[in-house]
Chain A
Amino acid sequence: MEFPEELKYTEEHEWVLVEDTIVTVGITDFAQDSLGDVVFVELPEVGAEVVAGKSFGVVESVKAVSDIYAPVSGEVVEINEELPETPEVINTSPYEDGWMIKIRIADTSDLDDLMDADAYQAFVEEEA
């Protein structure tokens, strides 16, 4: 199981890459492994406003539907257009090809609530 050092993490198992005021969001290796085969993804449209802690989309495995939560509030500036056609990349490449959306962050203090890689790894080990 991978926990890249450069990323921040949520308790809902999303990862966040912070680049200035733009954050890229996806779900973690632990999340994709727990879900099993991802077969469907629903993302917001570019321009949508997302709210920290609220659902912005869903991922579905063969068995179940799971919400994906926004780690920060802000405007969606880009979505991974290829994901609906190839949702399985969330399983094979959760931290790269499986990225979901980019958000222009409204309030950088939202980032203070996120975990670093070590804290998230400890969180996952406690949950497992």
Chain B
Amino acid sequence: MKKTPLNAIHKEMGARMVDFGGWEMPVQYRGVIDEHLAVRNAAGLFDVSHMGEVEVRGKGALNYIQELTINDASKLVDGQVQYSAMCYPHGGTVDDVTLYRFASDHFLFCVNAANTEKDFAWMQEVLEEGDFGEVHLSNVSDNFAQLALQGPGAQVILSRLTDTELDTIVYYHFREGLVAGVPTLISRTGYTGEAGFELYFPPDAAVGLWKALLEAGAEDGLEPIGLGARDTLRLEMKYALYGHELSPEITPLEAGLGWITALEKPSFVGREALVKMKEQGVPRRLIGFTMTEAGIPRAEYPVFAGDKEVGVVTSGTLSPSLRIGIGLALVDPAHAAVGTPLQIGIRQRRVAAQIVKTPFVKK
């Protein structure tokens, strides 16, 4: 299994380690519920060094990225981040990504860990098939470790270790600065719904920065957080997770990502299929539901409306914030309105649920 530079520290700190897409990662330290609530109420530190990074340089970089991704990258300015995705020609999703613009000829993608090699191969294929001018593509995943510092206390904690004026970095923007003396890309982004930052820096600085942040945040209740709570935090916000809400069989339009799908762009891979899907009517919609009877929904459980099977659960959990079962499901659009009563097939029973407004937790 692959290991991040913090692998030994996680074990020393008592984390339970699991295989996550070929990476040995901490799933929990103190417990998923306690960690989840720590991020909502104080602050949490996540090792996300397994995430992949791909650099795009050259005069043709923007042209290429416009063809490769579904969002409109021409709207980005230097120092800005964009949530986007890559699709196959049939409209299914290769991966969802964040795109960082350093300059008009210099961008960086952050991609899902387990998809890094697949994504990079796909990026090379799209590059070879088009004529974009000068473009240099490199998988620079080994050059970066990454930490996410998330929660209401995140900014005050980070401010103790940097002179960078964090107030002036607005949501989905980034700046390069020193954090505890380490050259760091400081990005005001995250996957929890809380205020916070994602920090990219050289892997050999990971242990020092991890310790410095935990020490700086101890008085504010900062604690290490595993992937278990990362999943429940994102689920409460209805953020998509590749392999659940997105896959080669699920288009961004079905997953509720129409807002990042710039169909008005003249061309991008998957555009024709997505335009056609929109014209003909999106066949499934991603909805959020809460259980109205006792039970915890899980991925793959069937969803019923009346006697009819109308969809499938993509992710589900007990919500640590709400203390009830919550889930996301892809359902027939005829049964996708907020307030619709549903039943979730849990083992041999059908358990009552209801479609609700999302995010589940208001921020």
Contacts and interface: CB of A to CB of B under 8 A. Distances in A.
B32 A62 contact: yes
B317 A62 contact: yes
A37 B16 CA distance: 13
A62 B228 contact: yes
Contacts of A63: 27, 32, 228, 231, 317
B347 A40 contact: no
Contact of B318 (A40, A42, A58): A40
Q: Which of A36, A42, A62 has the most CB of B within 10 A?
A: A62
Nearest to A62: B32
Contact of B294 (A36, A40, A65): A40
A43 to B, nearest CB: 12
The secondary-structure label for the interface of chain A is: strand
A60 interface: yes
A39 B228 CA distance: 14
B347 A39 contact: no
B192 interface: no
B248 to A, nearest CB: 25
Contact of A62 (B33, B294, B295, B347): B33
Given A62-B232, A63-B228, A39 B318 contact: yes
Given A58-B347, A62-B318, A63-B228, A37 B32 contact: yes
Interface string A22-34: 0000000000000
Given A61-B32, A63-B32, A63-B231, 16 more contacts: A36-B16, A36-B31, A37-B32, A37-B33, A39-B33, A39-B296, A40-B294, A40-B296, A40-B318, A60-B296, A60-B318, A62-B32, A62-B232, A62-B317, A62-B318, A84-B294
Interface of A: 36-37, 39-40, 42, 58, 60-63, 65, 84
Closest A-B pairs by Cβ, 7 of them: A62-B32, A39-B318, A37-B33, A40-B296, A37-B31, A60-B296, A63-B228
